[in-house]
Amino acid sequence: MSSAVRARGTLVVVVGALLTAGILALPAAADDPAPVVNFSVRDVLPGAPVAISGTLVNGAADAGRQVQLYERRAPFPGTWAVLQQSTAGADGSYSFSVVPVLKAYYSVVAPATAAAGREASPGLLVTVHRRVSIKVSDRTPRKNQLVRFSGFISPIYPLGPGAVATLQRRDKTGAFTNLKPALLKAAGNFTSYRVRMHVKTPGVYRIAVPSSTYYGGGASDAVVVRVHR
């Protein structure tokens, strides 16, 4: 193969990679001015709404302008898609309301018009966390009594060698430290866990699960276990 042919082949590969990167890239280009974007919350449980609002760059001069909300869902890198469209208010403000179903990035874009250039914000991540319930067989056990912690996780956690829930206890600094892992099991529309431990000292306990491709980690409510002799 001649060097010219090899060069053209390399060029095709490079251009193809650049085009692919462009498709997966954020809607905002390097020279796009970014509108103000505010999130009511960036960490949510399934089914919780998120309000996204802000103001376009030119304020009142952007009144009536089209505004688009882009979303890029897990698994990443994923692709961007227009989720909602709206119109800027008299002061250039906009608002959207979304209910994320997976971890996702959101970007606000005002397409270019005959009178104004394109505006686009960077992508900002909203994380959906799993719900974790907890049940304790005895919250006032005798010292060194075997206590069972059990519950359910939703949405379903993918099962596998690394699929574990972790029993944790709050330490003197207020942080939770790991005590014992529990394997996860399928339970219909949920994932179940169960872990038993001889409890020697009173404390505040909870169950935590790590993040996965589609969801953030999750933790149960903290429960107080009081030990007596």
pLDDT tens-digit map of 139-177: 999 999 999 999 999 999 888 877 889 999 999 999 999
Enumerate long-range contacts of 170-174, CB under 8 Å, 24 or more apart: 170/203, 170/204, 170/205, 170/206, 170/222
* Structure letter (DSSP) for residue 221: P
Supply the pLDDT for residue 28.
72
Would the pTM count as exceeding 0.85?
A: no
Mean pLDDT of the chain: 87
Q: Are 122 and 29 in contact (CB under 8 A)?
A: no
Domains of the chain are 22-128 (2.60.40.730), 131-225 (2.60.40.2300)
Alpha carbons 229 and 201: distance in angstroms, whole number: 10
Supply the pLDDT for residue 16.
34
Closest CA to 183 of 159, 203, 200, 201: 159
Q: How far is CA 40 from its chain centroid?
A: 14
Question: What is the average pLDDT across 57-67?
Answer: 95
Question: How confident is residue 93, by pLDDT bands cut at 50, 70 and 90?
Answer: very high
Residue 6 has pLDDT above 80, yes or no: no
Q: What are the helix (H) ranges across 41-182?
A: none
- What are 8-58's pLDDT values in tens digits? 343 333 333 333 333 344 577 767 899 999 999 999 999 999 999 999 999
